[in-house]
Amino acid sequence: MLQASAPGKCILFGEHAVVYGQPAVAVAIEQRITVEISPSEDWRIDGMRFDPNRHPHVEALKQRLWDGGPPLSVKILGNIPPASGLGSSAALSVAAAAALRCARGRQIENDDWTEGWTASRINEVYTGIGKHRKGTSLLAGKGSVDEDECAILAHAVEAFAQGGRASPIDSSTCAHGGCIILSNKIETRYNWLYSRELNGVKWDVHSVDLPAQLDDYYLVIGNTGIKAPTAKQVEKVAKLLQENPGRMVEIEAIGKIARRGIEALMLGDMEKVGHAMSENHLLLKNLGVSCPELEQLISAAVPNSLGVKLTGAGGGGCMVALTKDPKSTSEAIELAGGRTLITRLSSSGLELDKEGNGPIWSPF
Ligand code: MEV
């Protein structure tokens, strides 16, 4: 049996606008998804017969990493509520990609990959048509797993599920953990990881170390309990912009707020971070991606928080409050009907928890 896990994410600034290339920031949260795989007589997910329509992310990964491989039993465990804006599908995709890669190993030649998904094969990963050259030796277990590869695969799978409109904010944060910043250019102050390009939009993905004083601050996430698929919300904004191209200025305004928020975050000026979060929310509300249930939880959290906004795709799902007093903030949100999760502003990324006893299958 092999087991891998990845964290959920919380977007602090820039959701929706990031789909159009504007900057965004997300942190990995303490809540995680764990994926376990083991050989089986037929394909199963959580003991039930595998239905590709119910699990499009697993199906898309299967096509890219397990094409022609023997059936597996997949178990999905964890505490990230699904379709709630916290990256449950990206965390699932990252963890499943790692488990599948570890279960097949990787062909290498002269210490170099002869197969795998890298930035140079980016078009193939999105279409899923990659073919691999046979290498001479097999790298097995943990050593065969690569965070960037899991991130690129998870992005491809998210893009597939969101009709081609998906930024890499969720997939990169769930793979690398910590705090991830996306920008439309390489920011030399941050640790540049890679570029991604999809349907004419380009993002430069960076990681940053947050200042130590942030340890005194918490995020309280309030879940409305309303499931809101990201694809629908992204589509709604796309339609709004198609019908009113002038409203692109609002998308650009979110980008400007995100830049201001990032500066404040890096300086540890949490009053300013909170202020920028609340401003970001007003613009998201104007775009039509909030809902009365989110607004109710947001209003309840305002008195005990430095800043409050919806997080993720909206239309239901979750809001997030930045606070020094998570107990009071959480109580206020729960009293208004939300279910809360409390997390610090950063958590570890992908982990391979059990690597099994050598590859289950090799396509070569
Ligand atoms: C979803 O977590 C974030 C969105 O910006 C979509 C995306 O970036 O792909 C709404």
pLDDT number for residue 184 = 94
Q: Tell me, in angstroms, the distance from the centre of ligand 1 to residue 301's CA.
A: 23
Q: Tell me, in angstroms, the distance from the centre of ligand 1 to residue 171's CA.
A: 10
Question: Which architecture does CATH list for 212-343?
Answer: 2-Layer Sandwich (3.30)
Both structure tokens of 94: 């990252």
pLDDT number for residue 132 = 66
Name the one residue in this structure whose structure tokens are 């305002």: 302
Q: Is the CB of 97 under 6 A from ligand 1?
A: no
Could you tell which of 9, 13, 18, 155 is best to mutate to test the pocket of ligand 1, judged by most ligand atoms within 8 Å of the CB?
18
Domain 2-209 has CATH 3.40.710.10: no
Residue 188 DSSP code: T
Q: Do 24 and 258 meet the contact criterion of CB atoms below 8 Å apart?
A: yes
What DSSP string describes 6-25? EEEEEEEE-TTGGGGT--EE
Q: Do 249 and 347 meet the contact criterion of CB atoms below 8 Å apart?
A: no
**Nearest one of 200, 125, 119 to 160, comparing CA atoms:** 125
pLDDT number for residue 181 = 98
pLDDT number for residue 33 = 98
Q: Which atom of ligand 1 is nearest to the CA of 19?
A: 8
Q: Is the CB of 167 under 6 A from ligand 1?
A: yes
Q: Tell me, in angstroms, the distance from the centre of ligand 1 to residue 166's CA.
A: 6
pLDDT number for residue 147 = 95
Q: Which amino acid is at 341?
A: L
Q: Do 74 and 50 meet the contact criterion of CB atoms below 8 Å apart?
A: yes
For the chain, 364 residues long, the average pLDDT of each consecutive 10-residue run is 97 98 98 97 97 92 93 97 94 98 91 81 70 78 93 92 88 98 96 92 96 92 94 95 98 98 96 98 98 98 98 97 98 98 95 90 82
- Would you kindly state where each structural domain of the chain is located, as residue ranges? 2-209, 212-343
Q: Which amino acid is at 200?
A: G
CA angle 91, 97, 103 (to 5 degrees): 135
Per DSSP, helices labelled H in 50-208 are 56-65, 88-104, 122-127, 147-161, 169-176
Q: Tell me, in angstroms, the distance from the centre of ligand 1 to residue 306's CA.
A: 24
Q: Which atom of ligand 1 is nearest to the CA of 11?
A: 2
Question: How far, CA to CA in Å, does 24 sit from each of 178, 179, 258?
Answer: 14, 11, 6
pLDDT number for residue 26 = 98
